[in-house]
A and B are shown apart, each in its own frame.
Chain A
Amino acid sequence: MKLSKWLMLILIFAIGNTHAVLKVTVIKKDENAFPIAISPFKLIGNKSKDKDISKIIHDNLERSGRFDALIPIAVVDKINTKYWKEKNIEALVTGSIVQESDDIYRLSVNLFDIYSDTQLFTRSTRVHVSGFRKAAHQLSDYIYEALLGENGSFNTLLTYITVKENAKGIKQYSLNISDSDAMNAKSRIRLDSPILSPVWSPEHKYKNKKIAYVSFQNGRSEVFIWHPFLRKKIKKLPRFDGIASSPSWHPNGKSLVLTLSKKGNKDIYSYDLTNNKLSRLTQHKDIDTEASYSPDGKNLVFTSNRSGQAQIYIKNLKSGHINRTTFTGRYNAKAVFSPNGKHLALVHRVDNDYRIAMLNIESQELSMMSGGTLDESPYFSPNGDMIIFSSRRNGKGLLSVVSVEGNRSYELSAHDAEVRAPNWSSSLEN
């Protein structure tokens, strides 16, 4: 009896946790993907563990669509360049894990270029057993950077909303965080009222990372700030008249922009978290919402229906000038800047479909990034290589990730829940 009770508790706990875990499916890869082998790590010391480091690296590189990665069955001890050349492998990762004390390991990694027969890097670090996964993501970034000459986005975090009906048919909303590979998922905020618009603050350190989001837990939309890595958990912004929605962080992390409907007018305000001061950034009788800063903090992009339909505008915060930025199509909304500030990702209506598009701000060239009917909430990966957004298949919400060139993509889905409102953090530091 007692045992079964415990079993049941364990079972419930497990089910509760699977809720937020997403399945990753690679859809399209680059035709000229880089062939790479990642050897299983050599374990030294009888209690040493692999902790799937080679698999995490493999999956990261595969997911980016820029690599054809494989894991040899056995540990590669000596590098036989001829053998790997015959297998058309161009780079090889080898490594070792040495146990130094109970929970501390020394992790060493080499990246070898098969063609030029040279070692590209060798790195070594001490890792607590809890930090293996993070180390694997950092290593993935190092490998990506060494081989492609661009920053990786692996050592980063995602946040997203999952929605699931309980046995009584009531929708349960969860605000989740996970590593960039959807592993290590945690859902700590669960409500039976809608949650939307989660967005990571720009800081790189774990303990400073916050998520601003909108919750209806008090019967109306309000903005909250969650510190997922601190004990001091959730802070609610002061109550404003009307709706508070669509938060987005200033690049310095000290203030956020949000939409408030004081006196019924939906305008964009900046809320300074250091002194709790509110300042108005737009003033118009029509809807202004979905504001987001340029990476340098000098411009603000937002949606307004002041022309009679939703279009994108950019406000120069120094001069105060507001310019309309989208001229193609009858509905353009929720734009965000690319990390280099040159492009916008946005929701663009084509006939009766709402798709993700990318706009070159200077040339006005608009490229379609998705082919769904109700795609929304685009956000760039921190290296600017990919765009993540909410999509639907068979009426169920999932997350799609597509490269800015459109040649690579993958999906994140939950078998028993809707997934939506993704947001990608900046890279992590300790």
Chain B
Amino acid sequence: MKTKIIAILPLIALLSACSIIGNSKEKSNKVVIEDRGTGEVDAIAYEQGTFEWNGNEQVANTDAMPKEERENAVAALKANGGKLVLYFDYDTAVINPEANQEIMQHIAFMQNNPKIRLRLEGHADERGTREYNLALGENRALSVKQILDFDNRIEVVSYGEEKLQSSEHDKNRRVEFIYK
């Protein structure tokens, strides 16, 4: 846990810089990430300044996040430049270093929405065999799950090459973030 936090430290700085630049969205309620919890991740986030967030800070004490609230939160994540799809290189499940910023956004999002759950759907392009691609797609989703590190809130599935999104291979090698 600790080593990962240190590794992502510069990325948080980058992310917060970005969120300041992209500050034109005015509808969102300002929620300060350091207000919740006392874990190490929060402490580091505090050092890096405030994040913009949309959604109710007080999450109801139920297992699932209310639908409307969840949808608002996800909409705000997207409005802040959050991507719900992460792309991969050919025949690899290694997360591209350039994608770390996007990953950080999701980590912050899950911290801020402790009741939200995430389904990670791993996909592959159509090259190679369907069965191998099913395994590859799962490895991609597992790579994301591992770095997010919210094990009991994340479900992983793989569709391999069964749900192609595009005729371009690059657009099909992906993990989709489905918050629920």
A: residues with CB less than 8 A from B are 194, 196-197, 214, 216, 219-221, 242-243, 245-246, 259, 261, 264, 266, 287, 289-290, 303, 305, 309-310, 331, 333-334, 347, 349, 352, 354, 374, 376-377, 421
Q: Which of A196, A264, A266 contacts B130 (CB 8 A)?
A: A196
Q: Decide if A221 touches B158 in the complex (CB within 8 Å).
A: yes
Q: Which of B129, B142, B159 contacts A264 (CB 8 A)?
A: B142
The reply on B36 being an interface residue by CB < 8 A is no
Chain B positions 34-59 with a Cβ under 8 Å from a chain A Cβ: none
**What chain B residues lie within 8 Å of A214 (beta carbons)?**
134
Chain B: minimal CB distance from A176 (Å): 17
Q: Which of B91, B132, B142, B160 has the most chain A CB atoms inside 10 A of its CB? A: B132
Q: Decide if B162 touches A242 in the complex (CB within 8 Å).
A: no
Q: Decide if A354 touches B156 in the complex (CB within 8 Å).
A: no
**What chain A residues lie within 8 Å of B91 (beta carbons)?**
305, 309-310, 331
Q: Decide if B156 touches A196 in the complex (CB within 8 Å).
A: no
Count of A-B contacts with CB under 8 A? 85
Q: Decide if B157 touches A259 in the complex (CB within 8 Å).
A: no
Size bin of chain B's contact surface: 20 to 34
Q: Which of A197, A219, A266, A354 contacts B138 (CB 8 A)?
A: A266
23 A-B contacts (beta carbon < 8 Å): A194-B159, A216-B162, A221-B134, A246-B131, A246-B134, A259-B131, A264-B138, A264-B142, A266-B139, A287-B132, A289-B135, A290-B132, A303-B129, A303-B131, A303-B132, A309-B91, A331-B91, A333-B128, A333-B129, A352-B127, A354-B128, A374-B127, A376-B130
**What chain B residues lie within 8 Å of A310 (beta carbons)?**
91, 128, 132
Q: Decide if B136 touches A196 in the complex (CB within 8 Å).
A: no
Q: Decide if B139 touches A376 in the complex (CB within 8 Å).
A: no
Would you list the 7 A-B pairs with minimal beta carbon distance, nearest first? A194-B162, A246-B131, A334-B129, A287-B135, A266-B135, A333-B129, A220-B157
Q: Which of B132, B136, B158 contacts A334 (CB 8 A)?
A: B132
**What chain B residues lie within 8 Å of A216 (beta carbons)?**
159, 162
**What chain A residues lie within 8 Å of B127 (beta carbons)?**
352, 354, 374
Instruction: Give the docked Cα–Cα distance between A219 and B158 (Å).
Output: 9
Instruction: Give the docked Cα–Cα distance between A349 and B130 (Å).
Output: 14
Q: Decide if B142 touches A243 in the complex (CB within 8 Å).
A: no
Instruction: Give the docked Cα–Cα distance between A29 and B132 (Å).
Output: 34
